[in-house]
Each structure stands twice: as C-alpha cells, then as structure tokens.
Structure 1
Amino acid sequence: MIKLADIYAKSIHYGGTSLLNHTKDVVNAIELFAEQLDYPFDIELAKKGAVLHDIGKAHPHFRSRISEYNHDSLLKKRHFESITHRHEISSLAFLSAFPEEEWDALIDMVVGHHKSVQNDSKRKGILDISTDERDWASNHLLDWDEWWECGKELLESFGYNCPEISKENATESLQYVRKYCQQKKTGWSPWRGLLKAADHFASAFNEKTSEQLDSLFEKPNLSFYYGSDRRSELYPLSLIDTSDARLHTIVIAPTGAGKTDFLMKRCKGRIFYTLPFQASINAMYQRFKKVVPNKDIRLLHATSEIVVKREGGKNYVDEQILQPLAGSSIKVLTPHQIASIVFGIRGFETAMLDIKGCDVILDEIHTYSDFSQAMVLEVIKALKYLECRIHIGTATMPTLLYKKLIEILGSSENVYEVKLSDAELEKFNRHKVYKHSADYDISELINLAIENKEKLLIIYNTVKGAQQAFKKIEENYPSVPKMLIHSRFKRGLRVNLENNLKEFYNGTKDNVGFKPCIVVSTQVVEVSLDISFDRMITQCAPLDALIQRFGRVNRYRSEKNIGKLKSVHVIEPKGNVLPYKLDILQKSFSALPENGAVLEECSLQEGIDLVYDVFDMKEIDIHLKFIDNQIVLKELTDCKKSVLIEALEIEGATCILEADREKYLLSNWEQRIEFEIPVNWKTLRGYVKEYEQLEVGSRPFVVPQKEEMHEKYGLELVEHENIW
C-alpha cells in the first residue's frame, strides 16, 4: 500500500517537496489570499480546494514521471507511456468527500489550475482528453485501490472526514466534472484565479512560504513623500494639494516637476507602478526600495515566455504571459505584464484578482503608439471595471489621446486633472536645440564636449547602432571615461551599469564634477533614470520621446541654474528609421527649433498636436477577450497565443550566455533572473535554428558570446564557431 509520506508534489529537480508539505503551504497561502484579495471568497471553502488540488499526484502515473519508478513489466511501462494523465483530474475523484453544494467551486479551483479545460495547446485539458481517449476516466483512476487511501489520509490530516470512496463513486465524480466543464459559459472564474495564486506562491517559495506571507498585502508606507523636505517651489507639483476626492488622476508636467511624488501621494492602497520599458523599471524600483520601508516591493522582470517548438519540419511559437506572484505593497512593471487581463492569457484570473481595487500608476503614457497604445487603452478599461484607482502621469500628451482617456475614465467628474501654468512652464526652459543633417560627422561635437570638460550623452535608436558607435568611440577616444548602456545586458549586469551611470558618470558621490565622459545609450535612458548630463547628441525620435531624452540633460534644478540652457543636438531622420515611422520623425524634426533657439516648454503641446494630428491607433479587437466590461472567453480556458508576439514591440524572449548555461540550470528562479538577457522576439527569431533553447526557467536561448565581449558591448547575436 502506498503511504502519504512517500508521495512528492515536486521532483527532486524542482525542490523535491512532499505532497503533504506542499499542500500545507498552499493552504496557508490561500487562507491569506481569500481574506485579503478584493473578492468575497468563502475562506473555509478555499482551504478545501487547496487540500484537494494535488491529491492526484498519488496516482502511479505521476509518481512514475517524477521519480525513478520501476514498472513491474515492459507491458505496464508501455501502457503508462501511452495514456494521458493529468493529476488535477485524478484529484477530483475525491469530490464526494465534500458536500455537493461545494462541488462547483471546488472544480473551478482544481480542474484548470494548470491547463485550460478545453483547447489546451497540448490537448491535455479535461474536455480535450475525454474527447480523444475513450478510457480517460479509468486511466485517471488506474490502481485506485492502491492509492486512494493516500488521498483519504491527506484529507483527514487537515480535519476533513473522508468516507470510503469506491472506484464507481470516483468515476461518477469525474463524469460530473466533465459535464460541468462542458456546460461552462463565457466569463471568468475567481475561484480558479485564487487557487492558481496560492499554488504558484507556494511552489515559488516551498518551505519559506509562511514567512513570505507576513508582509504580502501591506499597504505601502508613503510617509517619505509627505515630508516637509519634499515641498519646494523648485518642484511646483509638490505644492499642489493631492487630496482631491476624485478617483482618477491625470498629471501633465515637465521632467523634474515632481510627478512621481504627486502620483504616489494620490494612492490609497497597494500600488502597481507601470513604466513603458523593461529598461526603465529598474531605476524606479531602486528609488522605491530606498524610501518606502515595506518589505515586499517587487520588480517584475519577465514579460513573457516564448517557446519554439518543431513539428512537421517547421518551427512554431507558443507564448504565455509570465504571471507575477500575487501580493506585494508596490509592484514595478510594464503594462504588458497586466495585458493578460485583456487578452485572456494563462493566469489572467489571478492577475484580475491581484490588481482589483488597487492603485495603478501609468507613468509616461505618451510613449506608446500603434498596437501598444491600443493595448494600454484597453488595459485602462479593464482596470476601471476592476475598480482600480488610475493615475496617469506624462511630460506630454497629444490632445486627441487626452480626450480619449477622459472619455474612458468617465469625464472630468471622475478625474483630477493637473497641469502647470505657462509661467511655471517657462521656468523649465533649459535646452537650446541644434539640428544637423543625416550625414553630419558628430566627432566635431564630441571633441567640443571633451574640450569643455562636459558629460556627453549620445543616444541611438537601436542597440546595434549604439554598439557600432561605441566601438568607434573606443578607438578614437581611448583615454576618455566612457560606457555603453542598453537593454541587452544580463539583468544582473544591467543593475551594475545603471548604478555606475548614476554614481560615476553622472558625477555624484565621491566623483562630483568628474569630467569629461561619454555615455552611449539607446532609449533606455528616456524614462526614470535620475541622471543629468551637459550635452546630448541624439538620433531623431518622435517628439514626445525626444522631450524625454532632453530631460536627461540639465535635469537637476536649483535656484542658481533656473534659466540656464544647455545644448541638445538632433540628427535628421533618413532612410531606415526603425523602430519608428519616418513620417512621425520628419514631423518631429520639423517641430523643433533650430540654430540654438530655446525649446519653450509652453509651446510643446502645440508641437505634439502637430505631430500627432490623427489618432492613429491600430485595431486589436480580434485579439481581445475583455470587451464591454466582460470576458468573452469560455470559463476555465485560456488563449494559447497572444497579440504580443506578432504586433507589440516588446522584449518578449530571453537569452543567456553559453558560459552561464550550467549555472542557470542549477539556480533557483530568483538567481536565474541575474543571468537573463531580454530580447525582442522579432530580433531573435532568425536565430532559433542556431541556438539551443533550455526547458527550464523562462526558456532562454543560449548564445555563444564570450563573457568579456558581453560585459563591454552587451548581447551580440553571434554564430557558433564551426569545429572541423
């Protein structure tokens, strides 16, 4: 007879956790989640679902799969390999241990906590299996008499009485589950989201689950932002009252006016702080960690997991949003990581529960365009439905977009709108603009900056362009301190680079006034990096993005430097201008002053409206699963693939260096993050045949770049050396 003590929930490669201990962790997690999440869950019923959810791991098929299980015969081994077994379906054979009025909620929690019940990508949902395999029920009850008492023991160890369950009773339960799932309509199941949240949390922390729960739902302590030293005429937003009773907020003000403080002071509960780029969230996370004393402030790195598979001689791509664990006082993330709600991607129910009723800050919303802008607007609709308080901050915004946001949020009666006066804006004039032709040799400007002992920031629109330019600067200016920063560095290395940028090249701490230096970058510096340079050379970008870039020059405000101007140089767009559109860049270039004229802050709105004179938003309706305040997807199912790969320019794939392969395989999920390099899928897909893809973590592609080259230049997609 199989004993409960011998049953494992995870293989040795994933922690070797016993079924009993894992179940205890999930029960502890679900009790807190059911109490704290903004939904009227029955806590005792939730705990029953947690106890039930993994009992099917006592089934011999599961035990065989995660252990060195020896079959009695070759025939039995072949039979095992021929059947499809899902442990969550076997778990529901124990339904009759609970009152019938609880069955539906228990099924919602258990049957789909790993797979869609239907149209699963591997056809392993209960409706897929029961359609494909005539003996699906008996397969899930294989050797029932040998293992059902393990389930009975587990239930009774948590205080639930379990009378004898015959195989016939168990079969009837599974048939009920199948019929129940067949009758499901469109919508979403909060019970499924709850169990997923608890199971994922317990799986991530194993034996440390209980200690991690202590601070999980703390409201952030924002006392720092209310300190008297945070009020100053230099930061006009700090003098404006934030206690307006309206739910939502839109703030338009220049970089350095105090938007972050203002938006944080508008929050009442847990906070989701979103920024447009993965590259920009690191700096904001570090800022919060320094001033907000709560233990659980979380940075969400991964956007999605892309898996390349090969069938019938062809590659095909499957993708899922990597769901963040529920809870935390403050989460710093990109809106793409909330997008599972509107696209119905796996785990969307957990994301809905987690964010429901919270404060959501959408910082620098103007940076989105095309599909991304359409996605963000749909996300805002979903957040409003989920009773979130929505706070939008931006340096600039097209009037057409502004009107659309007011329409979605429910008129000015619901939105606290804050803008600075022209007189206040005039104090933020700090740049004089020079425009140069596309073939202009920037070495003249570099030489000028070095001669003047200036900190020089050079920005390119692509990683490749920045890498090529940096290599030339290395050759031509060997003695000048210099660095390269962009999105394609290992995450751990990126943190070091950003700290180096702020503390050394930015001239702070022990290096105050250290000049000259050269920093070459991409648009990763546009948002949230607290740096101030003396001169900028930049390729042309959309006007709103340029304004953000200019905000990294002459950024720090004091009584002495108000009215002082520093130079920004913009190179005319020409030819291939990816990732942007040529017509937008041409309009933006034309809207800028020239010959060293002052960039007037009070005139920026006029320029933005000239550039964005049409509300050009791509249609994404075909992909949406949240429409008109409801989920138009069959309950307990997910979408297999989202619009994110095909349409949105996001860092959707992950790479690691070949030198880190073994360390990555042996590391836990937190340690693996340090080795990962985010890459846009469109950039990577031409190399999928060239690189190995690992089956663990975020399924990274292994790139054979040498470590020392990566530390200097970041990821360069190189081919394997042929060995003859």
Structure 2
Amino acid sequence: MDYHDAGKAHEPFQLKILKALGEEVTLMKDLEVPHNYLSPFLLPEAVFALPKQDYQALIQAIAFHHERNVEPDSQLIKKALYEDLWPKLTDINEHLATEGANLEERFNRILKQMKKRIKYSDHKTNYVDYVLLKGLLHRLDHAASAHVPIEVDAEQDFKQLVDQGFAKIASDKGVPVEQVYRELQKYAHKHRKENVIIIAQTGMGKTEAALLWASNSKTFFTLPLRVSINALFDRIYSKMNYKNVGLLHSSSMDYLTENLEEDWEVVSEQSRHFASKLLFTTIDQILKFPFLYREYEKELATMAYSSLVIDEIQAYDPKIAAVLIRALEMIYLVGGRFLLMTATLPSIYLETLRESGIIPPEAFQVKTFVDDTVIRHRIELVEKSIVDDVEEMIRLAETKKVLVIANTVKQAMELYGRIKEKTEKVRVFHSMYIQKHRAIIEKELLAFDENEQATGIWVTTQLVEASIDIDFDVLFTEAATLDSLCQRFGRCYRRRQYKKTVPNIFIYTVEPSGTGYIYDKEILERSITLLKSFSGEILPESEKVRLVSELYKRDNLKGTEFLKKFDGALEQLNTFDDYTLSNKDAQRLLRDIQAELVIPCDVYDNHSCLFEQLEQADKEKRTELRRKITRLTVSLRKTAARGRTRKLPHKGKKQNGEEYDLLPWIQILDLKYEFNEVSKTGAGVLLDQEIDNQI
C-alpha cells in the first residue's frame, strides 16, 4: 500500500488537486500520465531481490490497480519520469518514509513487465499470486476511499447462530445441541473445510446446514431470486438477530431503506464493498469474474479466503450454469471453497465438474439426502390445457390455498382473467410489474401463506419456483421440464406430510405455453413421458432426484437446445480475452444480455415530475431521484419491447453547458399499466400478442 499511489507525486496530478481545492493553476495536460503507470518506477531497491515472477506480479498489480482505456505510453512515461519524478526522488522518499531507488537503469525492465500482462491462461505459473496481490489491493484501496471497514466481524462462527436457534430443543431433550442437528446438518458441519455438493429435498434445514458448513469463514450466499434473498436476509438479521449480514442485488437499496429502521446505510455500504461477514447476493454481483472483465481480480481474490454457497443451481439458464461452473474452477484455483445445494441436480453439471481440468474429482464431496417416508406429493397428469380447468380451481379454492403456475405471463393473465370473472378470491403475480409494486405483491403472497385461515387462488409464473418459502394446499401447473416442475412441487405441501389418496398436484400436458422458447420442446416432452408412470401415484423424493439426473445426462441431451446453449457458453468463455470487457458488460452478460429497462407510459405520465426534478438536481439529490425512478421500471426482453419503446425526453447539462440524455438506459414503454396501490391488485403491464415470452 505504501507505493501503489506514489505516482500521485507527479506534478500534473498535484496541480489537479490544487485546482479542485479552488486555487488558480495552469494544468500540464501534455505531460499527464495516469499515476498508476508511474508508481512502479518509484519502488524500493528491495523489490528487485524478489524472484522474477514475484516482482512481475507486484509491478502489474500496482500498474493496473486502476484499469484504464488508455494503454501505457512508454515515451510519455519516460518523459514524466525524467523531467518530473526522478529529479525529486529524494523528497518523494522522505515523504513516504521509505527508501526508494533511482530506477533509471531499470526503466526498460519495468516497462516490459507492465506491458506483458499476466492472464488467466497463465494460471499454471504466477497467475494466482497476481490475482491475490491485485485483487486485495483493489479491496483495500476501495475500502479506504469509501471509509468502510475491510472486513466486519471476522471472528464470528455461524455455528453459534445455528446453536442459538436449536438451544431450546436441545435443552428440552437434555442433550448437547449437536445431537439435535439433522443428518444433513451434521454432514455439512463435519465437511466444513471441504468443497461439497448436496442434493437435498425441501424441509431438511438447508439454510442451517449452509451456515454450519460456512463455520467461521467469510461467506457469500447466492440464490436465483431477489425475493428469496430478501427473505433469508430478514431471517438472519431479524429472527437470528445477527446484524453483520449484508444484502446485495439490483434493488437491495430499496429493500433496506424500506425494511430497516436504522443502520440501512451502514448495511448497504458494507455490502457494496464486500465487508459483511455473511453476504446474501445474486450471482451477477459477485460471480462475473469468468468474463475476465477489467478489475475482476477484486471479486476473485475475495473468494480466495471465502466460502461460496450456490443454492438451486438447476434454476439457472444453462448458459448461466456454464458460467457458474467456470467460476467454481477459478475459485478452486485461488484456494476458496464452495457448497452447491439443490433439490435436484442435472447430471451434466456434475459430469462437467468431474471432467474439469482444474478441479480434481476427489476435490469435492457429493452427497444426496432424501427421506421417502416423508410423503408430500401425489401427482396427476391431465390431458388438457390448463385454461380448461378453471372451475376445478375455483371449487377447491373455497376451502384451500390454490397455487396456479403458468409458463408465460400471457398464459397467467389468461387464467387470471377467466378466474376473476367467476370469483374475487384470486390474485396474480408475474414479472411484468414495476419494481415498487412487485415488492408489494411479494409481501402480500408471503402474508397469504402465513395466514392459516386464508383460502383462495394465486396465479403465478415460475417466478415463484426457486426458494420462495410458501406452502399451498393444491398446485395446478402447466407441463414444464422436470427440474422446473420439481421446483414447483416444492411450493405445495412444503412443510407437511400429505396423507390423502387424491392428488394434490395437477400437471396439464396439452399445449403448455412457452414450449420451444422458454422450455426445450424435446426435454419437456421427455419429462412428461418420465412422469406418466407416476400419474395418480405418490412421487417419492428419491424418484424426483433420479428422474432429473437421468433426464439431464449428456448422452440423453444430444440434439437439444439445452445442450447447445450449455456447451456454447462453455466454449464462449474460452474466447474471452482478459481485460476486454467492463464490469457493466460482464454484469449484462450474466443477467441475460437481452433485458431492457422500461417504464410503462402511464406510470411515466404520473411520475414525470421526478424526471423534471432530476434535470435540475445536485449530485446528492440525483442519487435519491434515480433510486425512486428505478423502482418504477420493469425489466423486459428486448425482442418483446421492439417497436413499443421510445427515449425519455429529458436532458441534463454538463458544466460546460453541453446537453446529454438523462437515464438513456431507461425507455418509455407504450403499453398501459394496471395496479391499485390501495387494494394492492392489478394485472401489471397489459400485454398484447407481440409480448408473449415473458416468465
């Protein structure tokens, strides 16, 4: 840290500081060189006693602790050194309280090391040392600039949190707390120093198992859906009363401001800088490093001394799963550890990990936990379209909680409309709500679930599949791929035994929506075939695991779009060259590539004053206004938005008077929007025929 900013002694940089302080100075733009490119030339003599690979890593870590679009200019660097820095080296050394050497004779040697960048393809040489040096330098530098701790509560052991929760049960039984752990939890704690893949059915205490596995390590916990992440954060923060937990996703700031009465700013800032001991987050925030974007080492170096939990990997698109597998390889390479937890695991993911050229097969444990004595589901395959069974849904909803899952928003809205014509006891939830209203509906759904006396129907899409802790009495679902169906099953009789002889899950196999563009047609058809022998029967937990594993073996996937996407993504990752993408580029690739942020036209009309205020706002006020505006947006596939969007008409002004587009990443969507904030009901964006591929 002593030397990484030594190049700021450069006169043009000092003049910039004086100008920023209000002094009248003449800047020296013709001699200006980024300070990070100068700092390596002010290193002390002792550095060059290091082995060549070590000082190469050190020089590059310093030279590129700011990644810039401009490459080092050897002639300009030489001029800055000869005319400015080296003549005042004695003063610089005195100021830094160090003993720097006159490195004039080493100029070419240092410059050569700067220009020959260490890359991921060098991972068998000094790559890991370089990643750790550069990445941790980023962490330290960013934490210092933001005035936040580098790490918070480093000594905490998460076993203490789990044991506090189990203390009363242990006390009542008169046994040590470890004896009340379930088998999954005992296994996780026993293997806490290892990489582990766990396949376990719902209700086995996977969250506690993950905490026991994490033990005293800094931990990142990822889930596919923000609502699930928010719920787990709240459970740890409020119910377990652990305050050094973090939350990081695209709308985490909104959640924290609305749900924490105090300290939300501290939690938010510590989360953003990875300082939290336990951080609940989405993969796009921390697992972008397989794209080798500029400054990716910050994430990867943090993983080197951390534990990563990936929950429900099967819920991700195969392209995203390919990125996650590469991320696990890179984490293993730098010395971190991982836990994959899932209810079902596509075999191809395990096969790919076992064939990794980086992770030896013996470097991770795989264990399955199922209990077939716990009966949750009796299924029935129904050979008709789901829209033709509305009457049965309404009948059962008189006394039960009924969940209806469609494959697309268009189909969900068709069902909702038909049901609403006959009963008021129906709600709908899908992705086509603005963020503000989506948060409201999520709370309503969870409240409905917690109300033991409530009855009625919720029509949803697979938005509710992964890790949302709801427990309905009956499930009506369109046919989908087996892994997706098993996730849907987990929202019915999630916490109870099912003892009746009539089905509690109905799967509709005729013309399921989304076939061919949301779900691979061939895999969906094979899924239906595999389930036919269980129609009218109990579907044991072990069979769910076995069927998904069988369906997704590489040999059984030949010719499918799923396999093409997965293998294509793996191959594409091999083509990325280090440092060509920005952080935002990588985040877009990991989020979906095709998403566009839009604000429905009537929502825009009702809130245009926010945009007008933004045109005139100062920096602090702009941040607050942008957050409010983002809460009014919907994420829409670009293909669905094509021809329906237009630019915002608002302009901002630079200090020189030049105009620029405000929020160019947000478009106005020319489709109507429906939601009543009093009744907390409405259809959201009113879709037409062109927009039928949302989930």
TM-score, structure 2 normalization: 0.71
1:484/1:519 contact within 8 Å kept: yes
Q: Match of 2:642?
A: 686
Q: Match of 2:299?
A: 351
Q: Match of 1:619?
A: 568
431 and 97 in structure 1: CA distance in 2 versus 1, 3 angstrom threshold: same
How far residue 545 of structure 1 moved from its aligned partner, in angstroms, is: 1.1
| 2:242 is the alignment partner of 1:297 | no
Instruction: Number of aligned residue pairs: give it.
Output: 602
How far residue 87 of structure 1 moved from its aligned partner, in angstroms, is: 4.0
> Which amino acid in structure 1 is aligned with residue 646 of structure 2?
E
1:49/1:106 contact within 8 Å kept: no
**Cα distance in structure 2, aligned partners of 1:548 and 1:153:** 66
Gap runs ≥5 in structure 2: 49-54, 171-176, 252-270, 558-562, 653-659, 689-695
**Cα distance in structure 2, aligned partners of 1:366 and 1:290:** 29
How far residue 701 of structure 1 moved from its aligned partner, in angstroms, is: 1.3
How far residue 340 of structure 1 moved from its aligned partner, in angstroms, is: 2.7
2:223/2:312 contact within 8 Å kept: yes
> Which amino acid in structure 1 is aligned with residue 64 of structure 2?
G
Q: Provide Cα deviations, 1:294-319, integer angstroms capped at 9, x if missing partner.
A: 4332222149xxxxxxxxxxxxxxxx
Q: Match of 2:367?
A: 418
Q: Match of 1:273?
A: 221
How far residue 344 of structure 1 moved from its aligned partner, in angstroms, is: 0.4
Q: Match of 2:668?
A: 703
How far residue 622 of structure 1 moved from its aligned partner, in angstroms, is: 4.5
**Cα distance in structure 2, aligned partners of 1:143 and 1:464:** 68
How far residue 679 of structure 1 moved from its aligned partner, in angstroms, is: 2.7
Q: How does 1:558-577 map to 2 (within 5 A)?
A: 567-572=504-509, 573-574=511-512, 576-577=514-515
**Cα distance in structure 1, aligned partners of 2:157 and 2:206:** 18
**Partner secondary structure for residue 4 of structure 2:** helix
100 and 176 in structure 1: CA distance in 2 versus 1, 3 angstrom threshold: farther
**Cα distance in structure 1, aligned partners of 2:379 and 2:114:** 65
Q: Match of 2:655?
A: none
249 and 97 in structure 1: CA distance in 2 versus 1, 3 angstrom threshold: closer
**Cα distance in structure 1, aligned partners of 2:18 and 2:643:** 37
709 and 288 in structure 1: CA distance in 2 versus 1, 3 angstrom threshold: same
250 and 565 in structure 1: CA distance in 2 versus 1, 3 angstrom threshold: farther
1:433/1:599 contact within 8 Å kept: no
2:199/2:369 contact within 8 Å kept: yes
Q: Provide Cα deviations, 1:570-596, integer angstroms capped at 9, x if missing partner.
A: 232457523221111112222224764
1:326/1:350 contact within 8 Å kept: no
1:93/1:170 contact within 8 Å kept: no
| 2:497 is the alignment partner of 1:497 | no
**Partner secondary structure for residue 477 of structure 2:** strand
Q: How does 1:128-527 map to 2 (within 5 A)?
A: 159=97, 178-186=111-119, 187=122, 188=127, 189=130, 190-203=132-145, 205=146, 209-210=147-148, 212-213=149-150, 215=152, 217-226=154-163, 227-228=166-167, 229=169, 237-238=184-185, 242-244=189-191, 247-268=194-215, 269-278=217-226, 280-302=228-250, 325-406=273-354, 408=356, 413-420=362-369, 424-438=371-385, 440-450=387-397, 452-467=398-413, 469-470=415-416, 473-474=419-420, 476-477=422-423, 479-480=424-425, 482-486=427-431, 489-490=434-435, 493-503=437-447, 505-506=448-449, 508=450, 511-516=451-456, 518-527=457-466
1:222/1:264 contact within 8 Å kept: yes
Of stretches 100-109 and 460-469 in structure 1, the one that deviates more from structure 2 is: 100-109
How far residue 223 of structure 1 moved from its aligned partner, in angstroms, is: 2.1
Q: Match of 2:265?
A: none
Gap runs ≥5 in structure 1: 1-45, 164-168, 304-322, 627-631, 719-724
1:457/1:537 contact within 8 Å kept: yes
297 and 160 in structure 1: CA distance in 2 versus 1, 3 angstrom threshold: same
**Cα distance in structure 2, aligned partners of 1:467 and 1:708:** 12
100 and 284 in structure 1: CA distance in 2 versus 1, 3 angstrom threshold: same
2:408/2:513 contact within 8 Å kept: no
1:426/1:602 contact within 8 Å kept: no
**Cα distance in structure 1, aligned partners of 2:425 and 2:31:** 63
Q: Match of 2:266?
A: none
**Cα distance in structure 2, aligned partners of 1:648 and 1:618:** 18
**Partner secondary structure for residue 445 of structure 2:** helix
How far residue 475 of structure 1 moved from its aligned partner, in angstroms, is: 5.3
How far residue 547 of structure 1 moved from its aligned partner, in angstroms, is: 0.7
Of stretches 91-100 and 545-554 in structure 1, the one that deviates more from structure 2 is: 91-100
**Cα distance in structure 1, aligned partners of 2:622 and 2:82:** 34
1:280/1:525 contact within 8 Å kept: no
**Cα distance in structure 2, aligned partners of 1:278 and 1:685:** 23
**Cα distance in structure 2, aligned partners of 1:396 and 1:183:** 45
Q: Match of 2:541?
A: 601
TM-score, structure 1 normalization: 0.68
Q: Provide Cα deviations, 1:419-466, integer angstroms capped at 9, x if missing partner.
A: 246xx224133333342423742422332233x332222223334544
| 2:67 is the alignment partner of 1:115 | yes
> Which amino acid in structure 2 is aligned with residue 345 of structure 1?
Y
How far residue 353 of structure 1 moved from its aligned partner, in angstroms, is: 0.9
**Cα distance in structure 2, aligned partners of 1:241 and 1:105:** 37
715 and 707 in structure 1: CA distance in 2 versus 1, 3 angstrom threshold: closer
Q: Match of 2:13?
A: 58
416 and 691 in structure 1: CA distance in 2 versus 1, 3 angstrom threshold: same
> Which amino acid in structure 2 is aligned with residue 519 of structure 1?
W
596 and 272 in structure 1: CA distance in 2 versus 1, 3 angstrom threshold: same
1:57/1:63 contact within 8 Å kept: no
Q: Match of 2:469?
A: 530
1:541 aligned to which of 472, 477, 480: 480
**Cα distance in structure 1, aligned partners of 2:139 and 2:470:** 38
**Cα distance in structure 1, aligned partners of 2:334 and 2:520:** 35
RMSD between superposed Cα atoms in Å = 4.8
Identity of aligned residues (%): 20
Q: Provide Cα deviations, 1:505-561, integer angstroms capped at 9, x if missing partner.
A: 11x2xx431222x32322221122111112222222211111111111111236xx5
1:285/1:332 contact within 8 Å kept: yes
**Cα distance in structure 2, aligned partners of 1:350 and 1:297:** 20
How far residue 263 of structure 1 moved from its aligned partner, in angstroms, is: 2.6
Q: Match of 2:71?
A: 125
**Cα distance in structure 2, aligned partners of 1:258 and 1:539:** 29
Q: Provide Cα deviations, 1:630-658, integer angstroms capped at 9, x if missing partner.
A: xx956xx4435968756974686555674
> Which amino acid in structure 2 is aligned with residue 501 of structure 1?
L
1:580 aligned to which of 519, 542, 556: 519
547 and 698 in structure 1: CA distance in 2 versus 1, 3 angstrom threshold: farther
> Which amino acid in structure 1 is aligned with residue 346 of structure 2?
P
How far residue 105 of structure 1 moved from its aligned partner, in angstroms, is: 6.7
**Cα distance in structure 1, aligned partners of 2:327 and 2:212:** 23
> Which amino acid in structure 2 is aligned with residue 196 of structure 1?
H
220 and 525 in structure 1: CA distance in 2 versus 1, 3 angstrom threshold: farther
**Cα distance in structure 2, aligned partners of 1:160 and 1:650:** 48
> Which amino acid in structure 2 is aligned with residue 201 of structure 1?
A
